[in-house]
Amino acid sequence: MKKITVSAPGKLVLFGEHAVVYGKPCIVTAVGQRMHVSIELLENKEFQLTAPDVKINNYKKPMLEIGLGDIPKEVLFVETAVKNTIKSKKAGLKITTKSEFSSQLGFGSSSAVTVCVIKALSELFNLQLSKKQIFDVAYKTVLGIQKKGSGFDIAAAIFGGTLYFVKAGKKIESLSVGQMPLIIGYSGIKADTVILMNKVKEKFKNNKYSLNKIFNEIEIIVDNAKQALSTKDFLILGKLMNKNQMLLEKLGVSIPKLDTMIVASLQAGAYGAKLSGAGGGDCMIAISSIKNKKAVENAILALDGEIINTQINAEGIRVE
Ligand code: MEV
């Protein structure tokens, strides 16, 4: 029977997390590590999923029950993506996922798997979905599950490169960005994006004025960073990272482990550093001169952080 494999990159947000959920822009880059999804059509009208990275082995149910009943968390994105993409349940599907990055990193594995499933189904059933249409189905899928979110990770997985992005894909602008001396440090702590988005909302529920003030400042940082990226001004980018980090701290999403990794990076000579993503764990990023890169990496390692080596500006979704 027909079979197809699709892959999509993970993501790393450079500037503007959290504010992007409230309509401000952010800058996100696609990373070299990819998610791979294979889908094979079956004659027996069964839905089968094997996702070893999240310990799902041979999960099965009738196609007619897709999206119904108790669905394990690790299966939810794949199953909901199928439900939202194909109406006809005449064929069965054997889906296998394989990730080059851990779902613990905050690199957007749920979004990457969601877009891969939609693209693979579009190819198998000749739906001819455009990238924007894949974005819309994927965003609907993720919002249906998480109830909130900006969708930048979906855009990075589909379009690749480095993007200037506004919530729900209102703006998806490709930035021309070269390589840069970026250091990625993983805190070893798994963050829950929804919990952190709710934390921000709760903290400022009686202080919308302060929240808007922070978001307006982040918007200016993002716009300045867009400019500095185009001129490859790493020193300015570092300063903007530090400013963005101060505002993320005000939002209450940084944690001591990230703070110490960030301070150590600066002491080792980085131009700037900040958390990347929802906060509460996951990764931090730093930018430095090429000369100081090793020293910054060693400072992160000395705090039991893990250095994640990756390429940025990676290619978006593709059929393998
Ligand atoms: C999480 O990686 C980034 C947030 O801005 C959430 C989102 O944009 O969906 C906190």
Residue 1 has pLDDT above 80, yes or no: no
pLDDT at 316: 98
Residue 279 has pLDDT above 90, yes or no: yes
User: Of the residues 11, 15, 17, which should be mutated to test ligand 1's pocket, given the most ligand atoms within 8 Å of the CB?
Assistant: 17
Q: Please tell me the distance between residue 150's alpha carbon and the centre of ligand 1 in angstroms.
A: 6
Nearest to 199 by CA among 258, 250, 141, 259: 250
Our CA dihedral for 95, 99, 102, 106, rounded to 10 degrees, sits at -90
pTM of the predicted structure, to 2 decimals: 0.97
pLDDT at 90: 81
Q: Please tell me the distance between residue 38's alpha carbon and the centre of ligand 1 in angstroms.
A: 27
User: Average pLDDT, stretch 41-48?
Assistant: 95
Ligand 1 binding pocket includes 109 (Cβ within 6 Å): no
What's the distance, Cα to Cα, between the start and end of the chain in Å?
17
Handedness of CA 164, 165, 171, 174 (dihedral sign): positive
Q: Which residue owns the Cα nearest ligand 1 atom 2?
A: 277
Q: Where are the beta strands (DSSP E) in the chain?
A: 3-15, 26-42, 46-51, 56-62, 92-99, 162-166, 171-175, 182-186, 272-276, 283-287, 306-307, 318-319
Active site residue 192: no
pLDDT at 143: 97
pLDDT band for position 185 (cuts 50, 70, 90): very high
pLDDT band for position 76 (cuts 50, 70, 90): very high
Choosing from 153, 192, 259, 304, which is the catalytic residue?
A: 153
DSSP code, position 71: -
User: Average pLDDT, stretch 37-66?
Assistant: 95
User: Average pLDDT, stretch 63-89?
Assistant: 93
Burial class (CB in 10 A: 0-12, 13-18, 19+), 144: middle
CA dist 89 and 46 (Å) reads 9
User: Average pLDDT, stretch 206-211?
Assistant: 97
Cβ within 8 Å of residue 206, ≥6 positions away: none
CA dist 199 and 205 (Å) reads 10
pLDDT at 122: 97
What are the start-end ranges of the H helices in 86-192? 109-124, 131-146, 152-159
pLDDT band for position 283 (cuts 50, 70, 90): very high
User: Average pLDDT, stretch 300-320?
Assistant: 97
User: Average pLDDT, stretch 145-161?
Assistant: 97
Q: Please tell me the distance between residue 151's alpha carbon and the centre of ligand 1 in angstroms.
A: 8
Residue linked to tokens 């009738």: 62
Q: Please tell me the distance between residue 149's alpha carbon and the centre of ligand 1 in angstroms.
A: 6
Ligand 1 binding pocket includes 247 (Cβ within 6 Å): no
Is residue 29 within 8 A of residue 313, CB to CB? The reply is: yes
Ligand 1 binding pocket includes 152 (Cβ within 6 Å): yes
Ligand 1 binding pocket includes 279 (Cβ within 6 Å): no
DSSP code, position 232: T
Residue 162 has pLDDT above 80, yes or no: yes
CA dist 314 and 224 (Å) reads 23
Residue 84 has pLDDT above 90, yes or no: yes
CA dist 203 and 17 (Å) reads 16
User: Average pLDDT, stretch 31-58?
Assistant: 96
pLDDT band for position 81 (cuts 50, 70, 90): very high
User: Average pLDDT, stretch 224-241?
Assistant: 97
Q: In whole numbers, what is the pLDDT of the chain averaged over residues?
A: 96
Percentage of the chain lying above the pLDDT 90 cut: 95
User: Average pLDDT, stretch 209-228?
Assistant: 98
